[in-house]
Amino acid sequence: MTANKKAINREGKGFYRSSEYMYKVSVYVGLSDIVDSTSSLHANWRMIGERPLYIKPQSFALPANTIGSSKNKAEYIKGHFLSLIRIEDAVVEKPPPIPITNYGNIDSVNAYFGDTATLNALIDAFAKQKRTTRENLLSNIPFTINGITKKRPANEILPTKIGGVFQNQVPWLIIYEPVIIAYLKDQTTVLAFTATEYALAQKMGFFNFKSGGGGQYIGAMTHSDLPNSITLEESWFGFPVTSALADGVYWSESRIIAGGGWGMRMLRVGGANAVPNNITHDYEYRVDTYVITSVRIFADEDITPDNRHESEQDESKRSCKYRRESF
């Protein structure tokens, strides 16, 4: 089954591309050597940098005037309003594809964000964001180690390795949220949103990503596939466990905001093994095979994922087969 971008736009539907994805990443440093996942994220950890960073593969250029937001999921759960920004740049890295929406594998996601090389690259990127060095990024933060609170030299805090031993005397945390770039049917608006941001924008009436009047017909991605892609397995920092739903079942906006579409990795004191906290439903698709799927896949990799509005009128179309032509 093939189509092109013009055909999609004539149908009056938004779309996204399977080859275009990002992650919205926040890095936190623990303020003492005893904080862990049971501590308060907002009281006992400090987010470095001015705001979360976007990281993307080199394989595509971010469209001009792409809209994102300046907060992360933890901040939105705390009560921050959706704060829209123009994304001026993104860090070019080698992040793995997102599970489900972009045919990624959760093991690859875990390995990437659990790698200290990724953590150190992100620290460098946040230092660049603040126009400083990685050492000065932490220079004004007091840390409590062995019961003594004071400012510390960077080599006691950063996850650097000397003689095969990591030197960090406090833990580090990465929070990452998969981001899908959506091209809306007005052929002008481009959104790079997390599952939480799509839900907030829908709930606040900024956009209708579902079907119906003014709908973008991408609700299968925004309200099912993306929140299902990565979810917390355990309650860290008091954030609730929100389990994935069956394929094709829409999450409510409130449920997405509470727990859909994010993962965490922690590096303990002394560089102990990174601790994962995410799970996923990992679907594997293979070239030149027929699969039962909730998305339409086109040869140019433009996807209009919400064909479910058709089944609202014709139940027999609920399990239609689509052929994947190219990857």
Rounded to an integer, what distance in angstroms lies between the CA atom of residue 103 and that of residue 99? Answer: 5
Looking at residue 280, what is its pLDDT? 63
Looking at residue 277, what is its pLDDT? 79
Looking at residue 162, what is its pLDDT? 85
Looking at residue 250, what is its pLDDT? 96
HSE-up of residue 321 (Cα within 13 Å, Cβ side): 5
- Condensed to tens digits (0 to 9), the pLDDT of residues 124-162 reads 999 999 999 999 999 999 999 999 999 999 999 999 888
12-25: b (≥16 Cβ within 10 Å) or e: ebbbbbbebbbbbb
Looking at residue 278, what is its pLDDT? 77
* pTM for this predicted structure: 0.84
State the CB neighbour count (10 A cutoff) for residue 114: 17
Cβ atoms of 191 and 14 within 8 Å: the answer is no
Amino acid at 295: V
Looking at residue 294, what is its pLDDT? 28
Amino acid at 239: F
Distances 113 to 121, 138, 152, 289, 325 between C-alpha atoms, Å: 11, 21, 26, 31, 31
In the predicted model, residues of the chain with pLDDT beneath 70 are 1-11, 272-274, 280-327
Looking at residue 298, what is its pLDDT? 31
Rounded to an integer, what distance in angstroms lies between the CA atom of residue 167 and that of residue 161? Answer: 6
Looking at residue 233, what is its pLDDT? 86
Please list, in sequence order, all residues whose beta carbon lies within 8 angstroms of the beta carbon of residue 304, skipping any fewer than 6 positions away.
Answer: 8, 11, 13, 14, 15, 217, 218, 295, 296
- Condensed to tens digits (0 to 9), the pLDDT of residues 280-302 reads 654 333 232 222 222 322 323 56
Q: In terms of DSSP H, where are the helices of the chain?
A: 5-10, 41-44, 73-78, 106-113, 116-129, 195-203, 219-220, 226-229, 253-259, 308-311
Residue of 83, 106, 121, 95 whose CA lies nearest to 23: 95
Looking at residue 325, what is its pLDDT? 24
